[in-house]
């Protein structure tokens, strides 16, 4: 399934978030205020390092960009020491996912107008990295047939999570056992518990925020939904970046772009990779317990505030079915 030519493949690792939802646990583990993507929860590596290892086989080194925040420089300095400055997109401040993506896309198209770009959050966990890469490879092949669309990876919902965005699949494009493909009918952002259970029963998918598409297609979506953003960024050569960011309000890509343009989106169902967003202490501990991993900070957690194993929003859900593991 792997395509041999990686010339026009680009990856953007989104690592500029502040990690406020997991700040208490991150501080307990690291002893400082670092955001979760720079925290070593397991395996002696940060979530950012795990993300780099996961995607490395699919991209050339010079085609991987990192969206960062300047205020986090002390935390990523050593980890990205060997990364060329051109691949570090350092923002003066966090202005949301849409702004970070737009800046990276503009930098990419300046070098490669035919670029096909994959976006990867840096705070996720996958129990089966190989299955994840197979899904991404399938996504790249799909984009050759649907170049006008943007593809999202939707994780098969295992319980009625209220903290995730949900994707409602529409018309079936590819009826596959491994990587079925659908048009997107609608987005549901952090639904109430009853609605989340209804969506799960209907076969709706969790939005992983992993996306693949031509750089031109992403820019068209941004132009159609938040045109003022691209116009502001186009002024970047005339003003200092700090001054430019002062005039830009935070923009969330899911709410402001994806939810407004579902007709331009397709979703690929992922039931094999075992995706989890490290968005709460409960999810972190649950993942570690399922893979029988007990890092030192978890063993000694009795010295600090108790960490709940299950989120109150998702009591007593069943075991995760990680296909192929």
Q: Is the pLDDT of residue 310 over 60?
A: no
CA distance 128 to 325: 7
The reply to whether 163 falls in a domain is no
pLDDT at 154: 97
Query: What is the pLDDT averaged over residues 6-20?
Result: 93
Q: How far apart are CA 217 and CA 214, in angstroms?
A: 5
The confidence score (pLDDT) of residue 290 equals: 84
Q: What is the pTM of this model?
A: 0.90
Q: Establish if 164 belongs to a structural domain.
A: no
Give residue-wise pLDDT tens across range 208-226. Answer: 999 999 999 999 999 999 9
Residues 186 and 166: their CA atoms lie apart, in Å, by 8
Structure tokens at 91: 């923002």
**Residue 28 in this model has a pLDDT that exceeds 50:** yes
Average pLDDT over residues 271-292: 89
Instruction: Name the one residue in this structure whose structure tokens are 């990680």.
Output: 322
In this structure, is residue 30 part of a structural domain?
yes
Cβ-based neighbours of 290, under 8 Å, separated by 6 or more: 127, 319, 320
- The pLDDT assigned to 219 comes to 97
- pLDDT on residue 202: 96
Q: Write the CA distances from 158 to 162, 284, 319, integer angstroms.
A: 12, 16, 9
Q: Is 257 exposed, middle or buried (0-12, 13-18, 19+ CB in 10 A)?
A: buried
Confidence band, pLDDT 50/70/90 cuts, at residue 232: confident
- Give the pLDDT band of residue 306 (cuts 50, 70, 90): low
Domain of 152: which CATH number?
3.90.550.10
Q: State the pLDDT at residue 293.
A: 81
Q: How confident is the model at residue 292 (pLDDT cuts 50, 70, 90)?
A: confident
Q: What does the pLDDT read at residue 4? A: 47
Q: Are 42 and 295 in contact (CB under 8 A)?
A: yes
In this prediction, residue 238 carries a pLDDT of 53
Contact criterion met (CB below 8 Å) for 121 and 14? yes
Per-residue pLDDT of 48-77, as tens digits, reads 999 999 999 999 999 999 999 999 999 999
State the average pLDDT for the chain. 88
Residue 270 in any domain: the answer is yes
Task: Give the domain range for residue 274.
Answer: 9-157+205-303
Any domain includes 113: yes
Question: Which segments within the chain are labelled E, that is strand?
Answer: 9-14, 64-69, 88-91, 116-121, 124-126, 150-156, 165-174, 181-189, 205-214, 265-270, 275-277
Contact between 63 and 85 (Cβ < 8 Å) = no
Residue with the two structure tokens 């790249």: 140
Whether the per-residue pLDDT at 323 is higher than 50: the answer is no
Whether residue 76 contacts residue 101, with contact meaning beta carbons closer than 8 Å, is answered with no
Q: Would you call 275 helix, strand, or coil by DSSP? A: strand
Indicate whether 314 belongs to any domain.
no
Domain count for the chain? 1
- How many Å apart are CA 325 and CA 160, to the nearest integer? 23
pLDDT of the residue at 291: 80
Q: What is the pLDDT of residue 318?
A: 34
Span 144-193, pLDDT tens digits? 999 999 999 999 999 999 999 999 999 999 998 889 999 999 999 899 99
Closest by alpha carbon to 2, among 130, 96, 89, 107?
130
Q: Tell me, yes or no, whether 198 lies in a domain.
A: no
Return the number of other C-beta atoms located less than 10 Å from residue 163's C-beta: 16
CA distance 105 to 117: 8
Residue 147's CB is within 10 A of a number of other CB atoms, namely 12
- State CA 5 to chain mean position distance: 24
The closest of 224, 233, 206, 252 to 95, measured between CA atoms, is: 252
Whose CA is closest to 315, among 201, 193, 154?
A: 193
The yes-or-no verdict on residue 322 having pLDDT over 50 is no
Are the C-beta atoms of residues 307 and 281 closer than 8 Å to each other?
yes
pLDDT computed for residue 141 by the predictor: 94
Residue 52 domain-assigned?
A: yes
């Amino acid at each position: 399934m792997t395509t041999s030519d990686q010339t026009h493949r680009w990856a953007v690792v989104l690592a500029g978030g502040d990690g406020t939802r997991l700040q208490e646990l991150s501080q307990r583990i690291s002893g400082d205020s670092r955001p979760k993507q720079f925290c070593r929860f397991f395996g002696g590596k940060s979530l950012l390092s795990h993300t780099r290892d996961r995607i490395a086989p699919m991209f050339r080194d010079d085609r991987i960009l990192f969206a960062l925040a300047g205020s986090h420089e002390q935390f990523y300095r050593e980890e990205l020491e060997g990364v060329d400055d051109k691949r570090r997109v350092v923002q003066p401040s966090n202005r949301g996912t849409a702004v970070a993506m737009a800046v990276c896309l503009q930098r990419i198209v300046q070098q490669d107008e035919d670029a096909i770009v994959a976006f990867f959050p840096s705070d996720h966990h996958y129990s089966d990295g190989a299955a994840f890469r197979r899904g991404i490879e399938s996504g790249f092949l799909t984009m050759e047939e649907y170049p006008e669309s943007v593809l999202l990876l939707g994780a098969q919902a295992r319980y009625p999570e209220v903290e995730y965005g949900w994707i409602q699949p529409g018309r079936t494009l590819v009826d596959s056992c491994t990587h079925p493909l659908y048009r997107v009918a609608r987005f549901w952002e952090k639904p109430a518990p009853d609605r989340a259970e209804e969506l799960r029963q209907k076969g709706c998918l969790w939005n992983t925020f992993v996306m693949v598409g031509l750089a031109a297609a992403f820019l068209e979506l941004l132009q159609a939904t938040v045109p003022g953003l691209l116009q502001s960024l186009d002024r970047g050569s005339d003003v200092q970046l700090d001054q430019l960011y002062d005039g830009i309000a935070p923009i969330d890509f899911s709410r402001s772009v994806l939810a407004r343009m579902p007709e331009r989106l397709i979703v690929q169902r992922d039931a094999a990779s075992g995706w989890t967003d490290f968005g709460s202490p409960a999810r972190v501990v649950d993942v570690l317990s399922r893979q029988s991993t007990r890092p030192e900070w978890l063993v000694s957690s009795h010295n600090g505030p108790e960490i709940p194993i299950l989120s109150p929003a998702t009591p007593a859900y069943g075991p995760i079915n990680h296909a192929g593991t």
